[in-house]
Structure 1
Amino acid sequence: MTLNRRKFLGTGVAVGASMSAPMVMGAAHGKPKVVVIGGGAGGATAARYIAKDSKGEIDVTLVEPTRRYYTCFFSNLYLGGFKQFNDIGHSYGKLASEYGINVVHDWAIGIDRDTNMVTLAGGSKLPYDKLILSPGIDFVDGAVEGWDISAQNKMPHAYKAGSQTELLKAQLEAMPEGGTFAMVAPPNPYRCPPGPYERISMIAHFLKQNNPTAKIIVADPKPKFSKMALFQEGWGNHYDGMIDWIGPDFGGDSVSVNPDAMTVTIDGEENKVDVCNVIPAMKAGKIAEIAGVTDGNWAPVNAADMSSKADPDIHVLGDAAAQGDMPKSGYAANSQAKVCAMAVRGALTGSKVFPAKFSNTCWSLITTNDGIKVGANYEATPEKIASTGGFISKTGESAELRKATYEESEGWYTGITSDMFG
């Protein structure tokens, strides 16, 4: 079944329950105040649903430093030549003009949980009754020997979409004939489990068309990865001899890089490369750590409402959350945001809250019209978000089915970005 925009928008939990109790007064004896930090798939969705469904009874502020949001999902298709950069960019204008959300383009640099106050880099302070954190990812210091954030222009990560994505594409275009592209893949858990391998597919597609004698090396600390059999089948069918995946059995977990010399050393063997995409180990975005709601890397949450286990007035969504079985994906963040928005609205206005249900699908493109997917449904348990059953594409599927899967992903992208930004 093709997942079009209308069907996607109907996959969230029911959030339109009528309000059945008086409004909880905010700290300043006005409307209850919700501050959302992070304007991606989790934060933008939560802000929009709270504002839309509370019908003006909750004051919603969205804090996001960038004025235009570029989705990490579908950014690989830009690298592969299937999308233009502007195709993955989105404005916050409708959230302000149509939903009355106070969109503040600034960095959140402090959270005082005793006074329920957010401090911004510009000096402003925002009081809140409920705070939603959806800051995405940051990187673990020292995760890849020889690399830190100061080297990201020489060896880009491109795992926060925007200028890094453009940089990686420019480096690909500038590769010499017959050159070498290297990826240092991340350890678990990380944002978008199929993402690095879809990226390899898209880069192989680009190079096959523009630099067909080029080679790709993948140094991977993991013995297996999401949709591994499907990707390896696709690489064999479409990019035979171009991709060398090196797992831990052959030194993929023993890697260092030298950005100045443009070398990647794998299990003691130095390789001169022309482009190197370093994707380090990840952790929750910095503001979650500043808020004191992480376990050192990720932010543990209660599955029923995505509230922090450290503070019931703070909710954490998407990649930053340690929630159980869901992958760290844009679809997952959007699904969690709808559950969170309903719970926050219920707590602040007395509206009905339904049992939490979640869903996720991760699509990947291997080559033109060759789409694959994996997904599952989930429910909240006292311990975690737990899978209730899943599905995955099969090797050997027909070209017609693979094309339909890709077209389904296009419908989902249209749907989720509309769900995020209006």
Structure 2
Amino acid sequence: MKKKTQSAFTRRRFTQLAAAAAATPLLAAPQIAKGQAAAHVVVIGGGFGGATAAKYLKKAEPDLRVTLVEPNDSFITCPYSNLVLGGWRDLASITHSYDHLRDRWNVAHAKDTATGIDADSRNVTLAGGETLTYDRLIVSPGIDLRPPEDGGIAGYDEAAYEAMPHAWKPGAQTLLLRSQLEAMEDGGLFVLASPPNPFRCPPGPYERVSMIADYFKKEKPSSKILILDAKERFSKQGLFQQGWDRFYGDMIEWVNLPNDGQVVEVDPATRTLITEFGMEYQAEVANVVPPQYAKAIARNSGLADASGWCPVDGRTFESTLVPGVHVVGDASIASPMPKSGFAANSQGKTAAAAAIALLAGRELANPAWVNTCYSHVAPDYAISVAGVYKATDDGIISVEGSGGVSPMEADEASRKLESVYADGWYKSITADMFT
């Protein structure tokens, strides 16, 4: 018993330290000198990075003018969207309004889409025709799915999304995939095509398979799941596969890159997926997650390099290509930090602190971050991976000896605690962003 108590305390304490570390950069943020005209910081994108940055800019400097450019009234989180697919949650439970950012924190909400950035004149152009002038700009645009003509999967264009949903941007696609799963006959084949690195949420496809397997186990027990993977291995692989064996038996099959798992073409009309060496799989329901890159606003504004992602200075998340612009979240190159919601939240705080310091001409903080990615495998059974990172002259590095994954030998009580911690993490991070 004593060993279990110590393990629970350690995980709980780690979560507390993670929250503290994520907020640390703002504690050292200098105040802008009194008497100066209020500077204007524009934030593009209201996700984990952008919403956090907007709130923490105002929290640190209430007199600062902050405008959030975001076309939607609310934000639907990618974390926990897999639980909607599994029938554990509904979409409303992962949808969060921007009302508190506007009403409590006095963040101006420009309900529009940013279409252009002019770094020389420090202007952001909106789809509606308005132009916003900024002193510093924070861009947290998220991802785009690569089309066939730009490194994507042949045949998988926007028209194909309806027949073979990606559901990698939560909302209507999540509900579409869920409805297809519900309509599927027992004994049918569900195929998930998993993308190559880097992509949003490395454990995401495998948690998704777990949630769908739980649904099938209850409602369609003769059905099968096939993962066609463009990678040789994946995040938390041993832990996921251990859980799959424990709960789902032979329902799930994983085919990796060396075994011809990379999908290179699809036929939406027949829901057929074709691999690199010509194997064809016809699915009753197909979930295709294609290769990704930074959203168009970042790529078209010179923030992305040839990789399609945005290089940044790890101490400030300022673009190394366009001065005066910070890029956070999935669009940024922040490896070894993963493209996760927790990472984007931490990066948003770092960029907010850096923007304030640079506006005031004060010393910059030297940030460090903690990231934890929880994944549900079955009811009351979850696993996690954690890491600690810091900025150096050579970029962002993992802190040696820190972090790690859930132990393979953990008992059922420990896995249940992980699921409790996962729910607590989701509740606390969304409160941190939106209240």
State whether TM-score is above 0.5: yes
Aligned residue for 1:246? 255
Give secondary structure in 1 for the equivalent of 2:48.
coil
Q: Find the aligned partners of 1:363 and 1:92 in 2 and give their Cα distance.
A: 25
Query: Is the 1:156–1:168 contact (alpha carbons within 8 Å) kept by the matching residues of 2?
Result: yes
Q: What is the CA distance between 1:18 and its match in structure 2?
A: 6.8
Alignment match of 2:54 (pick from 30, 47, 50): 47
Are the counterparts in 2 of residues 9 and 415 from structure 1 also a CA contact under 8 Å? no
Contact 1:361 1:376 in 2 (8 A): yes
| Counterpart-to-counterpart distance in 2, 1:254 and 1:159 | 17
Match of 2:411 among 394, 398, 402: 398
Alignment of 1:12-411 (within 5 A): 12=22, 13-17=24-28, 19=30, 22=33, 30-56=37-63, 58-142=64-148, 143-266=152-275, 267-296=277-306, 297-350=308-361, 353-388=364-399, 389-411=402-424
Mapped to 1, the partners of 2:40 and 2:255 lie a distance apart of: 50
Aligned to 1:418: 431
The alpha carbon displacement at 1:8 in A equals: 5.9
Change (3 A) 1:253 1:21: closer
1:85 CA drift (Å): 1.4
Q: Which amino acid aligns with 1:125?
A: T
2: CA distance between counterparts of 1:254 and 1:160?
Answer: 20
Does the C-alpha gap of structure 1 residues 114 and 170 become closer, same or farther in structure 2, counting only changes over 3 Å? same
Q: Which consecutive residues of structure 2, in runs of 5 or more, have no partner in the other structure? A: 1-8
Deviation sequence 1:137-175 (CA, Å, 0-9, x none)? 112222212211221111111111111111111111111
| Pair 205,18 (structure 1): closer, same or farther in 2 beyond 3 Å | closer
Q: Please state whether the residue corresponding to 1:42 is helix, strand or coil.
A: helix
- The one-letter amino acid of 2:52's match is T
Alignment root-mean-square deviation, CA: 1.8
TM-score (norm 1): 0.95
Tell me the secondary structure at the aligned position of residue 264 of structure 1.
strand
Residue type of the alignment partner of 1:283: Y
State how many pairs are aligned. Answer: 417
Identical counterparts, % of pairs? 42
CA 1:189–1:24 in 2, change beyond 3 Å: closer, same or farther?
farther
| AA partner of residue 163 (structure 2) | K
**Cα shift at 1:220:** 0.5
* 1:321 partner amino acid: S
Note if contact 1:201-1:365 (Cα within 8 Å) is conserved in structure 2.
yes
Alpha-carbon shift at residue 395 of structure 1 (Å): 1.6
* Structure 1 residues 383-416: Cα deviation after superposition (integer angstroms, max 9, x where no partner): 2211103211122310110011111111111111
Question: How far is 1:264 from its partner?
Answer: 1.7
Higher helix fraction (1 or 2): 2
Contact kept, 8 Å, 1:339 with 1:357, in 2: the verdict is no
* Deviations 1:185-208, CA, capped at 9 Å, x for gaps: 000011110000000111111111
C-alpha change, 1:61 and 1:254, in structure 2 (3 Å) is: closer
Q: Is the 8 A contact 1:263 1:273 kept in 2?
A: yes
Shift of 1:311: 2.0
Q: 1: distance between equivalents of 2:424 and 2:177?
A: 26
Structure 1: how far apart are the matches of 2:281 and 2:316? 48
- Give CA deviations for 1:209-257 in whole Å, capped at 9, x if unaligned: 1111111111101110000111111111111111111112221125421
Conservation of the 8 A alpha-carbon contact between 2:42 and 2:67: yes
Q: Is the 8 A contact 1:15 1:53 kept in 2?
A: yes
Say whether the 8 Å CA contact 1:140–1:283 is kept in structure 2.
Answer: yes
- 2:18–2:369 contact (8 Å) kept in structure 1: no
Cα distance in 1 for residues equivalent to 2:269 and 2:139: 36
